[in-house]
């Protein structure tokens, strides 16, 4: 499978890294209008064994394999067809709707995978609803890393016990859009605060996206996200009211069983005393921490899961592309 990557920031780099660990993937081309090849080589994970070097301003060497690099702002101008790139991993936030993402198709790509929630593109989360993908879909979304953490967990709970309603509190690591020191804000005053010193309320569409991935939960989950001063790891704190009475031990058993079965490698289960930083390079989307949760009544329960931000998420992006390739109709 030949992939093209639009935007070589953290997600773009990690998608490339994960894809290159597999024999069935090839990086056909990279496009980024904001950074040059020197920046790309510097940002790429240093533990990539074959190594990454800069051949020139328009070429990166992954090991010995040359990969062309472009800097087009308009996706229609990227020569995907010439490079043979079939699956485009879209990581730039300006192209999250179908109309804008379709520019890649005009440039010769076959499929576009939007690495963000989308208002109109169908959303697929591996382990939850990827089986619903149809070959005629040319543009899809993989939602966010938070949705990929939340969806497998609520799927297990809803399938086993039913969910009446739920409240999600998300603790998300600081982002590159925040300030390291206090500075006049770009959009709103709270954005001016120093990220290493403050916990800030934020906004996200993760709970809404879960409703698109699992229609039975549409409108049943609300979310209160916070940006916290951690560099990488994030967590979700989920409180749900169940349709059926269940003890916390029964709920733990259901999650543990799925983590060792259908959702192995996607949903994790831990009971040991751990820190979130223990999961920095964990490729699972969601790691349920049994000791952090509690049964609050006959049908009310609090559950906690953490995730390594983009590492697990990018693994799922690559897995979704592999699934799409198996069903392709072109």
Q: Residues 253-269: pLDDT tens digits?
A: 999 999 999 999 999 99
At residue 292, the pLDDT reads: 93
203 is catalytic: no
At residue 107, the pLDDT reads: 97
> First vs last Cα of the chain: how many Å apart?
13
For tokens 């954005």, the residue is 191
- Catalytic hit among 145, 149, 306, 314: 145
Tell me the domain boundaries of the chain: 2-116, 145-310
Taken in order 148, 150, 153, 154, the sign of the CA dihedral is negative
Residue 326, C-beta contacts closer than 8 angstroms, at least 6 positions apart: none
309 has binding-site annotation: yes
- What is the value of pTM for the model shown? 0.93
Q: Domain 2-116 carries which CATH code?
A: 3.40.50.720
32 has binding-site annotation: yes
At residue 46, the pLDDT reads: 81
Select 145-310's CATH number: 3.30.360.10, 3.40.50.720, 1.10.260.40, 3.40.50.300: 3.30.360.10
At residue 65, the pLDDT reads: 95
Look at residues 285, 304, 283 and name the one whose alpha carbon lies nearest to residue 293: 304
Q: How confident is the model at residue 198 (pLDDT cuts 50, 70, 90)?
A: confident
Quickly list DSSP for 226-248: EEES-SS-EEEEEEEEESS---H
């Amino acid at each position: 499978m030949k992939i093209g990557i639009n935007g070589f920031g953290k997600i773009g780099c990690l998608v490339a890294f994960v894809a290159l660990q597999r024999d069935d993937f090839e990086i056909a081309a990279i496009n980024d209008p904001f950074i040059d090849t020197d920046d790309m080589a510097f940002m790429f994970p240093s533990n990539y064994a074959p190594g990454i070097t800069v051949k020139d301003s328009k070429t990166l060497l992954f090991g010995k394999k040359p990969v062309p690099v472009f800097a087009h702002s308009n996706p229609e101008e990227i020569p995907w067809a010439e490079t043979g790139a079939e699956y485009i991993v879209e990581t730039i936030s300006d192209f999250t709707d179908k109309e804008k993402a379709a520019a890649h198709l005009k440039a010769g790509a076959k499929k576009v995978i939007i690495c963000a929630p989308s208002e109109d593109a169908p959303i697929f989360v591996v382990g939850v609803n990827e089986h619903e993908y149809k070959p005629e879909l040319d543009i899809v979304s993989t939602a966010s890393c938070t949705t990929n953490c939340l969806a497998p967990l609520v799927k297990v709970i809803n399938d086993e016990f039913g969910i009446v309603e739920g409240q999600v509190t998300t603790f998300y690591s600081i982002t590159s859009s925040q300030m390291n020191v206090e500075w006049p804000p770009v959009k709103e005053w709270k954005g001016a605060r120093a990220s290493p010193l403050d916990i800030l309320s934020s906004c996200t569409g993760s709970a809404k996206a879960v409703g698109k991935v699992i229609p039975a939960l549409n409108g049943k989950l609300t979310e209160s996200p916070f940006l916290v001063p951690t560099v990488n790891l994030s967590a979700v704190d989920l409180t749900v009211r169940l349709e059926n009475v269940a003890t916390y031990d029964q709920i733990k058993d259901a999650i543990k069983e799925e983590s060792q079965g259908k959702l192995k490698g996607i949903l994790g289960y831990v009971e040991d005393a751990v820190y979130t930083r223990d999961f920095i390079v964990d490729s699972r989307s969601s790691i349920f921490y049994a000791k952090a949760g509690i049964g609050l009544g006959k049908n009310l329960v609090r559950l906690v899961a953490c995730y390594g931000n983009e590492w697990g998420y990018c693994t799922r992006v690559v897995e979704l592309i592999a699934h799409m390739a198996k069903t392709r109709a072109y």
